[in-house]
Structure 1
């Protein structure tokens, strides 16, 4: 590191400008992050967000530095950008646990497609991040890593299941990160930890090499400190992959050009956004009231920026959210199929994991999955749930079309980050936790969590924007405008690393 560059809140653009100016090398940047991980994650506040550091990261940085020195050119749009990956993503030569102690010794032979794409763009895989067992929680509880701390309040949970990526990106332990989202596993921890978290239309980004939870809903996605960096990552990750048939979505969406280059600061001022007040908690609940206060203040700034806000109602919202949930219908078969193709993992089924007591004791979702139908076909309600999902999506799209809306918005969660004690006391079951992120997930619609502000206790609150399927470019344009209007991202108050 030099005297001219700080990793605090740095962006892809900042890093590349410093590389080109000769005031920073990839080796120096990687070393600075490794020093922060040692001082803040393994020691000091002990965030516990990092599971495994890539031993080849410095060598990879040296190769990129030599390329730039000898050619004067960057290798790609992510040249020398250190990335942390949720440990749900297979990474060749690096232990990948999926949050489960049954896979603590599993080292994949091949990279997941997203890792291949990142490396091709010049990224440096810095480390793997913590997550609950097979992504089965809204919290950080993991049989491998225990609990991860929230950088903004060490007695609070960072949310799940992309717990470690959210905490690491928030704490400036890497330039950007990748999470995964089934029911909200990118957006909920983004809400609790203050980064930007993007969920795309399922299939826009390949899931090949990523452990599943509900295959039709699963998607990897960016977790960054700015909307621009999220768009740059999406440019790299989006596209058809023959190894994942669901990426037909990329062909249907047929986005042309760059998501990042198309960001337009004027889009918000020309937009109509629906406010889904059904998704707000009651002001009679103090924990919900403080979140509502932050969201209302953010909405005021959005209105001041020129957006027109329209209150909308989704008839039967609670019914649709409950009935279209299919964790207990198909997660068992989806996870079992994944395990069957990986003999290096010390388990061949969810039922075995549950019977052997090898998940974190505070996780209740694995029990429901393990004792539920072995296949979706064994659930007599499954086809009814799929038909209801189609009706749900048509209903919401119809409401958006009828009101001329560009997006809907609501709090990611009705409360701010819970305490670690509440998590360990199992205050909420998985299906009872007051998150709104399942709305977009079960609609198969893209959405993004944006920093909205902080409660009086200093806890982050996230605002979710949800757009039409395949409209990621429009969603990112609105998100960019909201980010510029609210300026709600700020770094946590952690010790300074020399």
Structure 2
């Protein structure tokens, strides 16, 4: 038995091979570990992995033994090697939250989402890089430094799920897990030519995951195909009494599996709104190249049977600015998480700031640490929360009036930035031209699907946003877009720019 290649494998292909005896889970895990060594630690040195599991091979042997004894797979993720953003606690593997100040902290038990992945048969292969406590659109971390984009090593993979997106794109694991508050799954996924799904907050438990803005926080899958994202999502969702927000799972009332919903839905006859306001200016060369890729993708989507409808959200930029609550409540939410973990050796976010224990290029971290101690200390907070409801009703109303199944736009107005631009402070966190905050601050689900590449070979993602709890339909649309564009391709790491 042998593995000829692990590039671009899907969950279904792995399961077929395991059942046919083509290779074992141990051989699969060994192949990914070797690829991590040769591409992440050495060679192009992507630096997407911050810690590797010491028990992955033992877990692989257990899965192989189960299949040998029972003649069937142990679950829907049997033997699937998964890399996990270092924001989510894993028993037996250190969790740093991207911070050098956390030492060798290792949680006593898995986060709920991780426990569910293991119960489905997954193997937690490694933890992935991220900026300190998820406070950036970029990879800058006091723990790991910078992570390189597999499509251009001089560029960033995006944040804050930097390592998960880069690792999945470079085929260092079968699938990945990220976290998304304002776009931290979708933005890096769009920069790394992979699929990234943000669900309606509460469908997936946040127990054991560090906080940024509690009402907006959610874990989610990062994969190379929409179908794999749906399979992983099936393992992640569920009610968790330790996280009251997961009451959303009961409200969703989805019957069947998300994986099955992918095949039942498509583009034919669907009405998709195109939010032209979210495109960058064509007069700007960097935005124009993204716009060109997105327009070509939309033409393919239309040719595949979807009806495109131009839509406009009145005062969109004002709504986005005035419903942002990072500086209102993030310090409160982050400190509440830290306070429950004295083993971290950290008293508070403001302590880390005062002692300079954070990466220098984290202006959002600085703003949070020096801002209101609690949401009650910000007199604008009640108005921001109230306006969020207005924003939701406005966009949902537009979708109802236009009979839209979803709204789409570029995830970001620019392709992946260079590390040089990041260190030169070309943008602040709040001035970076990402559109991912739209769905986040609406509390809507959204998914990014590869749309194509710029003339410079940089990936561009198309974001598709739908109404809350409509993940089955959203995944079906995304699958249709994926088929229409066929834009996913593995990076040529032997040729990637140094």
TM-score under structure 1 normalisation?
A: 0.98
Deviation at 1:265, TM superposition (A): 6.2
Residue 182 of structure 2 corresponds to residue 183 of structure 1: yes
Asked if the contact 2:179/2:217 (under 8 Å) is kept, the reply is yes
Partner of 2:378: 379
The runs of 5 or more residues in structure 1 that have no matched partner are none
Partner of 2:17: 18
Partner of 1:331: 330
Partner of 1:62: 61
Distance 1:173 1:142 in 2: 20
Asked if the contact 2:267/2:477 (under 8 Å) is kept, the reply is yes
Deviation at 1:266, TM superposition (A): 5.3
Asked if the contact 2:25/2:60 (under 8 Å) is kept, the reply is yes
Partner of 1:481: 480
Q: Deviations over 1:191-215 (max 9, x none)?
A: 1001100000000100000001000
Q: Deviations over 1:62-105 (max 9, x none)?
A: 01101111111110000000000000000011110000011131
SS at match of 2:327: helix
SS at match of 1:331: helix
The runs of 5 or more residues in structure 2 that have no matched partner are none
Partner of 1:356: 355
Structure-to-structure mapping, 1:284-299, within 5 angstroms: 284-299=283-298
Asked if the contact 1:445/1:468 (under 8 Å) is kept, the reply is yes
Detail structure 1 runs of 4+ shifted over 4 Å in the superposition: none
Partner of 1:150: 149
Residue 429 of structure 2 corresponds to residue 430 of structure 1: yes
Structure-to-structure mapping, 1:266-285, within 5 angstroms: 267-285=266-284
Partner of 2:70: 71
Asked if the contact 1:87/1:99 (under 8 Å) is kept, the reply is yes
Deviation at 1:269, TM superposition (A): 1.1
Q: Deviations over 1:176-231 (max 9, x none)?
A: 00000000000000010011000000001000000010000000000000000000
Asked if the contact 1:40/1:495 (under 8 Å) is kept, the reply is no
- RMSD of Structure 2 on Structure 1 (CA): 0.9
SS at match of 2:261: coil
Structure-to-structure mapping, 1:236-315, within 5 angstroms: 236-264=235-263, 267-315=266-314
SS at match of 1:268: coil
Residue 226 of structure 2 corresponds to residue 227 of structure 1: yes
Q: Deviations over 1:433-462 (max 9, x none)?
A: 000000000000000010000000100000
Deviation at 1:8, TM superposition (A): 0.5
Structure-to-structure mapping, 1:136-147, within 5 angstroms: 136-147=135-146
SS at match of 1:89: coil
- Change beyond 3 A, Cα 1:101–1:266: closer
Distance 2:54 2:103 in 1: 17
Asked if the contact 2:230/2:258 (under 8 Å) is kept, the reply is yes
Bigger drift between 434-443 and 367-376 goes to: 367-376
Distance 2:265 2:390 in 1: 34
SS at match of 2:84: strand
Asked if the contact 2:32/2:172 (under 8 Å) is kept, the reply is yes
Bigger drift between 43-52 and 422-431 goes to: 422-431
Q: Deviations over 1:21-49 (max 9, x none)?
A: 00010000000000000000000000000
Distance 1:223 1:264 in 2: 19
Partner of 1:2: 2
Asked if the contact 2:261/2:473 (under 8 Å) is kept, the reply is no
Partner of 1:398: 397
Partner of 1:172: 171
SS at match of 1:240: coil
Residue 97 of structure 2 corresponds to residue 98 of structure 1: yes
Q: Number of residues paired by the alignment? A: 495
SS at match of 2:259: coil
Structure-to-structure mapping, 1:440-455, within 5 angstroms: 440-455=439-454
Partner of 1:365: 364
Asked if the contact 2:265/2:473 (under 8 Å) is kept, the reply is no
Asked if the contact 1:227/1:483 (under 8 Å) is kept, the reply is yes
Residue 47 of structure 2 corresponds to residue 48 of structure 1: yes
Partner of 2:214: 215
